[in-house]
Every structure is written in C-alpha cells, then in structure tokens.
Structure 1
Amino acid sequence: MASAPWDHPFQIPNKQHQTTCEVAMSTDEEQQHRLDSFRQAAGRFASGVTVVTTAYDDHVYGITATSFVSLSLNPLLVTVSINVNSPMLDEIRGSGVFAINVLANDQQHVSSYFARRGRGRSKGAFDEVEAHVETTGAPVVTGALSWFDCTVHTMLDGGDHTILVGEVKAAGGGTGEPLLYWSGNYRELGQEEQNAAEENALTDDIHRIADSLSVQLHMHGMSTAQLIEAQQAVEPEAAALAARDANDEQIAQLRALVEEAELHTGDAACFNPLSLEFHDRLGLLSGNPAIAAAVSALNRPRESRYAADTTSERASRAAGAHRWILEAIEARDEDAARRLMSEHLGTVAVGILH
C-alpha cells in the first residue's frame, strides 16, 4: 500500500500545502462513502413492489418501482417516484393518467419483465403480461394484489427523480400476499408473518365495524340499562368461546393484561383503559367477528358511563373477577367462563344502576 506523503520519517504533514486535487479526491471519496452508506441503509427497508403503467396514443408503458406511498385520504392521493431520465415521464405527461399495481408474491416474473430496459413499452398490449382497463385508460395488471387508477395531480422535482402525485379515481385488488423487496432481493412473508398480517387486518376490520356501530348506538340514544342488557347478551358467550378456541399465546397475552391491571386498581385513570381492553380482547378471542365487533362497540359508551363510578374498591373487585374469568379460560372451562362473566357484569350493573 502506498504511504501518504507525511508517512516518511523526515516529513511532517502540513495540510496547508495539500493540493486542490488532493482536496477534491478527499471530497469525492467522502461523497462516495455517503452514497454507499445511503444505499446500504435504504436497502435495509423492506418495501412492496409495484408496476407503474400508462397508455398514450396506441402504446402502453410500464416500469417497476418500489417507492409507492399512500399520501392523502381527502383528496385521495398516492405518490410514486420515477427517475428523471425515464421515458415513462413523457408518456405520463402526454396521457395525464397512470396506474400503480401492487404485485402479489407470485408475480416476480411481472416485476422482472418491467424492470428490463426496453421491455416496458409495447404497442397495444404488453407482450408477456396480461392487463386490463378500469377507469382512466391506464393498464391495470391482472392478478395484482391491489391497484390504484389515477389521474396526474402534480409532478414534483425530487433530485434525480420526479415525484408523481396521483389522484385516485378507482382502486381495488384481490387476496394473497405481497411481493417484497429487501436487501437487493425479492422476499416473501414467512408463515408467522402471514398469520400476523391476516390477524391484524381482521382486527382492523372489526374495529372499523365497531366504530360505525357505536356511532349508530349513540345516535339511537341507548340507555345505560340497555347497554348492560346488551353486554349480558354478548360477553358471556365471548368468554365461553375464548375458553374453547383461544390459543396459548393469546391466553398468555390476556394474563399479562390482567396482571398489569391489578397493579393499578388504586388509579382509575390507569385501570379503566386496561379493564376495557380486557373485555375488548375477549371479544377478539371469541373468534367470531360479529361478537368481537359487538363487544368492541359496547366498550365505547361503557368507557364514559363507568369511569365516574370507578373507586379503588370497585376496581379491585373487577380485577378479581377478570382473574377468575382468565383462570376459567386457561382451564378451557366454557361453562365457568360464561357464568363468571355473567356474574361480573351483574355486579357492575348493580354499582352503576343503584
């Protein structure tokens, strides 16, 4: 390895005499290091794979991109970034429309097709990829996990990329798992990740239904007595189903929740949210979406109506009842879980109504 000029034993480094060339080389090296570090860091971010398509005159055009972002709900806007040198930009400027197609995990060949230079532009239809038209005329890749059919809202300067902002005119998709790109390679969700993703999606759906139902109940003017009657009709069965169907991991999470609540019986502000989460969690553990949504919806008005009446003594009784219900679920005793929940709600009702 060549030594630096000041490595000679009879020379002393003097940065004042460093040449312009040496400074430039140092700056270039630092810039390259930053660029390499950026690429490495950015490559550690797992992203979905999309194909951006448009149609202009008698041609269709598509490229692979991983920079898709959902931007706004009002109005409905999405963004994707395209290299400033890509001919795709002129096509989109001319057409005023584009579609973003999120690829499923069995569509790696679609990504590879559009990633090859010169293969994205075709006359009439793509050579090897089936597509159809939805609303704007931009091609939508058949079998895509999801798609967003857009008109151009804005095109923004983003350095060496142009940021396309699209106003969504139509959107849709199917079922399946996403094609992922991470650390320079295509990836797929493992089975555990797939199960977690499906469970989270179901939970989100249930909570959206519960939000809508709770609003309708509020507008209806449901009384406290009616709230308690509804809870008595639904929650004991949720506890019984949880005893029958909840897996060991779910029960362990329920136990952790009960133990945390027991630490806060003297603080209503901390205890009440944990107590409500216990009921909400039992609804989810029932495995029945209708029951889960009903329990979650009934939790909304319960929060405001019960909070003012929570004392340390009542919190302790509720925590004890939750533990008994938990133990019945752990023992897989459906009858005991149903009975204990019914007794717990009856005790709470007495405290609220009298």
Structure 2
Amino acid sequence: MDDRLFRSAMGKFATGVTVILMETDDETHGMTANAFMSVSLNPKLVVISIKENARMLPKIQEAKKFSVNILSSKQEEISKIFAGQIKEQEVTINRLMDVPVIPGAIAQVVCEVSAEHVEGDHTLFIGKVTNITIEDGDPLLFFSGKYRSLEELVEV
C-alpha cells in the first residue's frame, strides 16, 4: 500500500490539536500532536503516540510526566511553534502540579507515564491522569492537512 494513500486516508479523520509538554533538567520541551485519545474512565487513562526518531521520545521517557494541552481555535500559532513551523518565538508556559501547561488551552490534562508500548515506528505512552483543568472555547481542528475551526450554526 502506498504511504501517501495511507496518510491521505488518515487525514480524512478530523482531530483536535494538542501540544504535549514535559520538563527535563529544568527545561520545558514540547511538540504538537493530534495522536491523542482517552483510553479508560476507571482508572482515568489517556494515550499519546510519539514517532521513534522524534527528539521528544527520550524526553518523555526521562520526565515520566507530561501534559496534554488541547488547543483552542485561537491558538493555531502556538501549534505551529511547537510543530517547528515558526522558529525562535517564545510561548508563555504555566505550571499545573509542577508540570508545564499552555495557558488558554481549552483543556490541560496532566499525566504520569504508566506504560509505554512500541508499535511500528511509534511509541505509545499510556498516561495516568492526575489533574485536569478546562476552559470554555472552540477547539482548533486539523483535517485534510489543514487547520480548521468549528463554524457557528446560524438559524434562518
């Protein structure tokens, strides 16, 4: 099967956009990701997926804690910064339970790594959720290779 066909088909699944943050040696590290999902309500677990050659892989293995920041529709620029599309721009970082988080994200989910599984060319990290904050707002979406926003429905 052609890689491009597979990527195109997976791009037809609309996702939210997250920034994964962790800290090692008093330095914050982050990456934009849409490979995120909830796994279990009891216990509260989520999963993130990180490519085997990503510079973030050893960082999360060392940190053993991370946050998933679900971005609002107003945070496209933050997504691009952590995706490496915008260089040398500072992002304000807050802390929740001593883990870095993105202020203004519509959800901040703090996790401890409870397991990791290598599958294909990615490592899946299972995170035990230790804290959550939420804010009102619309999510930043990604569909068919482009950022998207929810459109308000207007009744006629």
Structure 2 residue runs without a partner (length 5+): none
Question: 2:130 matched to 1:169?
Answer: yes
User: 1:64: Cα distance to partner?
Assistant: 0.3
Give 2:100's aligned residue: 139
Task: Look up the equivalent residue of 1:141 and give its one-letter code.
Answer: I
Provide the secondary structure at the position in 2 that maps to 1:191: coil
Question: 2:15 matched to 1:54?
Answer: no
Q: Could you tell me whether the CA contact under 8 Å between 2:22 and 2:28 is conserved in 1?
A: yes
Provide the secondary structure at the position in 2 that maps to 1:130: coil
Structure 1 residue runs without a partner (length 5+): 1-30, 121-126, 196-246, 249-354
Closer, same or farther: CA 118–86 of 1 in aligned 2, 3 Å = farther
1:189 to 133, 136, 150: 150
User: 1:37: Cα distance to partner?
Assistant: 1.7
Closer, same or farther: CA 61–163 of 1 in aligned 2, 3 Å = same
Structure (1/2) with the larger strand percentage: 2
Closer, same or farther: CA 160–119 of 1 in aligned 2, 3 Å = farther
2:81 to 95, 113, 116: 113
Provide the secondary structure at the position in 1 that maps to 2:57: helix
2:65 to 93, 97, 100: 97
User: 1:118: Cα distance to partner?
Assistant: 10
Deviations for 1:160-198, whole angstroms, at most 9, x for unmatched residues?
111111000000120110000000100011112xx8xxx
Distance between the aligned counterparts of 1:102 and 1:52, measured in 2?
Answer: 9
1:80 to 43, 48, 51: 48
Deviations for 1:10-60, whole angstroms, at most 9, x for unmatched residues?
xxxxxxxxxxxxxxxxxxxxx4x3x22211110111000000000011211
User: 1:138: Cα distance to partner?
Assistant: 2.1
Distance between the aligned counterparts of 2:5 and 2:109, measured in 1?
Answer: 33
Q: Could you tell me whether the CA contact under 8 Å between 2:80 and 2:86 is conserved in 1?
A: no
Structure (1/2) with the larger helix percentage: 1
Distance between the aligned counterparts of 1:174 and 1:88, measured in 2?
Answer: 27
Distance between the aligned counterparts of 2:139 and 2:35, measured in 1?
Answer: 15
**TM-score normalised according to structure 1 size:** 0.42
Closer, same or farther: CA 44–36 of 1 in aligned 2, 3 Å = same
User: 1:117: Cα distance to partner?
Assistant: 7.1
Task: Look up the equivalent residue of 2:74 and give its one-letter code.
Answer: D
Task: Look up the equivalent residue of 1:77 and give its one-letter code.
Answer: L
Closer, same or farther: CA 72–119 of 1 in aligned 2, 3 Å = farther
Distance between the aligned counterparts of 2:137 and 2:116, measured in 1?
Answer: 32
Distance between the aligned counterparts of 1:84 and 1:160, measured in 2?
Answer: 5
Give 2:110's aligned residue: 149
1:129 to 77, 88, 91: 91
Q: Based on CA coordinates, which of the two structures has the bigger radius of gyration?
A: 1
Deviations for 1:117-138, whole angstroms, at most 9, x for unmatched residues?
7969xxxxxx521111111x22
CA RMSD of aligned residues (A): 2.0
